[in-house]
Structure 1
Amino acid sequence: MVRDAAERFGDAEAVVDGDRRLSFAELADQVRRTAGAFAAAGVGPGDRVALWAPNSAEWIVAAFGLLTAGGVLVPVNTRFRDEEAHDIVVRSGAKLLLVQGGFLDREFTGPPGVPVIDLRQDGFLGSGEPLEHPVGPDDLADIIFTSGTTGRPKGVMTTHGQTLRLYQEWCDLAQLRTGDRYLIVNPFFHIFGYKAGLVASVIRGATVLPLAVFDVDRVLELVEKERVTVLPGPPTLYHSLLRAGGGRDLSSLRVAVTGSADIPVELVRRITDELPFRHLMTGYGLTEAGTVTASRPGDPYEAVATTVGRPCEGFEIRIADDGEVLVRGYGVMRGYLDDPAATARAIDTDGWLHTGDLGEIDDEGRLRIVGRKKDMFVVGGFNAYPAEIEGFLMRHPAVAQAAVIGVPDERLGQVGKAFVVARGAVTEAELIAWAKERMAGFKVPRRIEFRTGLPLNATGKVMKDELS
């Protein structure tokens, strides 16, 4: 993919990251040399390498360099604390961990026995002899960890062929064009930023502008200065643009892509009426299958707002008797890493992936998500899993029981609220501060309500429908 882009687009800008600008030809050269650096460091075909760093030109070169060396990419959420990240690095079997020290004033450490390379300080990137190791469409490309209701992240295994086929189609659905300038605010550790962002841009010959931290003023500045044409993100991004866009030249914006949360019809109207966007795509996807459904050009406001579109080519969807959305097709993961039992629970013997989401299919074949079978809620575009958060809270010596639900939030869509039965003295502020040291920020409950007991059913499970 990278070599093909270099041959087709040559001196056109591939990456713009601050003062650093790489053409497609330069990107390919850096990627090949970085592949050689990985090989010199002992990374061979099929070896895993974890990448725990923000969106940047370095992330792009490192990731594609690893894949070009035949390695398997394991992206790690930059909001994870050391304990969370180390668990993923160890279970993935990563031979190396690449980090960007100092990001968000943090030092990123590795678990014992795993060498750590700093992307910006160790002179590793581009330091090897040019190398390309052949890979096939069925070779494993990446392992992206996603949490389940059991609370422990699971590694989703996806191949090169699955990614390339799906995101070639994504380019068409999103109307991504050669020469577009794509500001990627979605993190590269998530498939929205990595595959629907970075991979799609290289396939189509669009310029990538990676953004390490979302800041609306910086977004507005880059849109104006760099003439950004494509700006996907969660609905909160467009709320921010509508509030803060006055006085800025945003006329270059053409394509918006959103999802991951319910979208009011009025917001869809305002995005296309009050902002310069000429195309807005919504869709439904999950790490285990990539982008499954998408709206189509010309769909009416109400359809774009209230449904997630029709299935992408090669996918089938159906609704189970209990209302769960089931997905089948070439893009469904190869399974969860080292977890055949979880894989068997997720993918039935007929090949249907059980998503955990509840949905309906309208008369025109569009999917509407009506709820979540699981407890997961979405905080500003990030999936938060109550069981995982409850597990962390239960480690506090003063916490006897904990139950977490998602509650509405004007800015983020939803945030966590915890109901806690204490066994010792602890205040709401103390417990939140304690949680912030151990959990990614989006997981930390914003409110804690202390109870003398939690409502339980006959089997001892917390009845969360009685909590609010």
Structure 2
Amino acid sequence: MAAPQTIPEALRRAAETFGDRPAYIEGDRTVTYTELLDRVERTAEVFINNGACCGDRIVLWGPNSIDWAVTALAVTVAGGVLVPVNSRYVGHEVADVVRRTGAAAVVVHDGFLGRDQLAELREAGVEQTPSSTPRLLSSLRDVVAAADRCEGQAHDGSLGPDSVADILFTSGTTGRSKGAMSSHAQTLGAAAAWAELGGVRADDRYLVVNPFFHSFGYKIGIIVGLLTGATLYPVATFDVAETMRLIERERITVFPGAPTLYQSMISSPDRAGIDLSSLRLAVTGAAVVPVVLIERMRAAAPEGLDIDQVVTAFGMTEAVVVTMCREGDSAETVAGTCGRAIPGMETRIDAPQRSGDGSNEGELLVRGEFVMQGYLDDPEATAQAIDADGWLHTGDVGRLDARGNLTITDRVKDMYICGGFNVYPAEIEQALARLDGVADVAVIGVPDERMGEVGAAYVVRSPGATGEALDESAVRAFAQERLANFKVPRAVRFVEALPRNLGGKVLKTDLREQWN
């Protein structure tokens, strides 16, 4: 049987294939694959009745939930283009996306985190008018109620594999966010490759903490569910103790996430006594992954999480899955690399530069089927990102081994130059992550009159670690034993937590502003 070419095709095939198997479980609510199709088609009718269809862009603003997933799929069944936005955005940020996309409809999970999101949007100038966009401005609750009154019909007749399926905005950690456009074929293909290499099955119980507005939650969550028949458990906000109890209670088998999720579980005082033995697959990425974290994820309880298969991968908004480890890869490969290019993708290192320790590193370039179509209404930025030969310039620094396994060492823009040597903060962070008492660490370059720039480390102590046991001198001494002198941080600041976006990336711009 040929693979589905559009997301609505994948949804209908999932209903036919998996039928009464649970597609989603959220608290006491269960939705089967058959029921999912019905709910999606009813919700699609709501959009069509409000003039939002046929290539129109529809903004969805809210946290993970069954209703979010239903609404997102309904956008594509209506023939529209999904534009998910960060659930923690404020009204002005979402209004900017609404204006830039010319959205025909905006659906909001009003009241999330005790806020009035609809009021925020109206204060930011977003109003529903019959003659202009958006034509529909509604709470998610009202859309669900309207869908209950609809009969539901099949739609999406004009969609093809190259039709734009979604516009996902980049995190904006280094400037104004950009909208990466992907086709139905690209979204489905990336999800299918990830699911196959990870071995996701219909009997899996998949906990989705990764935000649905992010490609890791939407494409590697919702779309993977459609293609495999796995049961998804959406989580709106991450609470480490409640997440571990949910894993134990529901016997969760698949739990992908950013490194910070697993680190939080390992260091949690609630870890003892909770049975996580059902976990068989964890896939992490979204940031430079500390090698020691992979070791602890695989380690037996109580020191680690005792996960059967831990896989590292690399992807980005512009190319959802680029590399991935495979089952059977050595522990060293999984702990030290992001795996090799998945089928349909290529990788190479551009203009390798010799760093202070003699190794050759350079910017990672990727090319292939899952590289975005381009940035929304920004041909200049698209041309800067994707060269004439189709190579996407990622902005990440890395190296490839003889087998093609990728190691990401840092971001190009995070590199600083100390005394004439290139310094990549991730190398320092990897070293400091092994120091007892360090729960999290980030390093930035700060100005220095003599050296040009020097390193400054922000350190989060583990629960129970004290200032007497872990102070600035202890951190610097540990680094001096393991790193060349020009890499040793000249200053250390201890903080309660590092600023991160919901994709798990440290907001180093915020740290630089704090330093100044």
TM-score (structure 1 length as normaliser):
0.81
The change in CA–CA distance for 1:449 and 1:152 in structure 2 (over 3 A counts) is closer
Task: Answer yes or no: is 1:301 the counterpart of 2:324.
Answer: no
Task: Answer yes or no: is 1:124 the counterpart of 2:146.
Answer: yes
Give the unaligned 5+ runs of structure 1.
Answer: 379-383, 387-404, 413-434, 452-468
Task: Answer yes or no: is 1:137 the counterpart of 2:161.
Answer: yes
Name the residue aligned to 2:510: 445
Greater shift in the superposed pair: 249-258 or 103-112: 103-112
Give the Å deviation of 1:112. Answer: 2.3
The change in CA–CA distance for 1:120 and 1:446 in structure 2 (over 3 A counts) is farther
Residue among 3, 6, 31 paired with 2:12: 3
2:23 & 2:33 partners in 1: Cα distance?
Answer: 5
Give the Å deviation of 1:297. Answer: 1.0
The change in CA–CA distance for 1:375 and 1:100 in structure 2 (over 3 A counts) is same
Residue among 278, 301, 312 paired with 2:342: 312
Name the residue aligned to 1:57: 66
2:460 & 2:15 partners in 1: Cα distance?
Answer: 44
State whether residues 34 and 127 of structure 1, in contact with CA within 8 Å, keep that contact through their aligned partners in structure 2.
Answer: no
State whether residues 70 and 133 of structure 1, in contact with CA within 8 Å, keep that contact through their aligned partners in structure 2.
Answer: yes
Name the residue aligned to 1:339: 378
Note the 1:197-346 alignment, pairs <5 A. Answer: 197-243=221-267, 244-274=270-300, 275-322=305-352, 323-346=362-385
Give the Å deviation of 1:357. Answer: 0.8
State whether residues 294 and 308 of structure 1, in contact with CA within 8 Å, keep that contact through their aligned partners in structure 2.
Answer: yes
Q: How many residues align?
A: 404
Give the Å deviation of 1:130. Answer: 1.5
TM-score (structure 2 length as normaliser):
0.73
Aligned partner letter, 1:199: I
Give the unaligned 5+ runs of structure 2.
Answer: 1-9, 128-133, 353-361, 416-424, 427-441, 445-454, 463-498
Name the residue aligned to 1:172: 196
SS in 1 for 2:194: helix
Note the 1:65-80 alignment, pairs <5 A. Answer: 65-80=74-89
Q: Which has the larger radius of gyration?
A: 2
State whether residues 230 and 256 of structure 1, in contact with CA within 8 Å, keep that contact through their aligned partners in structure 2.
Answer: yes
Query: 1:304-361: CA deviations, max 9, x gaps?
Result: 1221110010111111115111111011111000000110111111111111111111
Name the residue aligned to 1:103: 112
State whether residues 49 and 97 of structure 1, in contact with CA within 8 Å, keep that contact through their aligned partners in structure 2.
Answer: yes
SS in 2 for 1:187: coil
Give the Å deviation of 1:447. Answer: 7.9
SS in 2 for 1:75: strand
Give the Å deviation of 1:450. Answer: 7.1
The change in CA–CA distance for 1:126 and 1:314 in structure 2 (over 3 A counts) is farther
SS in 2 for 1:445: helix
The change in CA–CA distance for 1:448 and 1:153 in structure 2 (over 3 A counts) is closer
RMSD across aligned positions (CA): 2.8
Residue among 26, 33, 39 paired with 1:17: 26
Give the Å deviation of 1:260. Answer: 2.0
Task: Answer yes or no: is 1:159 the counterpart of 2:183.
Answer: yes
State whether residues 252 and 276 of structure 1, in contact with CA within 8 Å, keep that contact through their aligned partners in structure 2.
Answer: no
Query: 1:254-300: CA deviations, max 9, x gaps?
Result: 11110123333332222122234211111110111111000111222
Task: Answer yes or no: is 1:112 the counterpart of 2:126.
Answer: yes
The change in CA–CA distance for 1:78 and 1:149 in structure 2 (over 3 A counts) is closer
The change in CA–CA distance for 1:102 and 1:63 in structure 2 (over 3 A counts) is same
Aligned partner letter, 1:185: V
SS in 1 for 2:335: helix
The change in CA–CA distance for 1:446 and 1:362 in structure 2 (over 3 A counts) is closer
- State percent identity of aligned pairs: 48
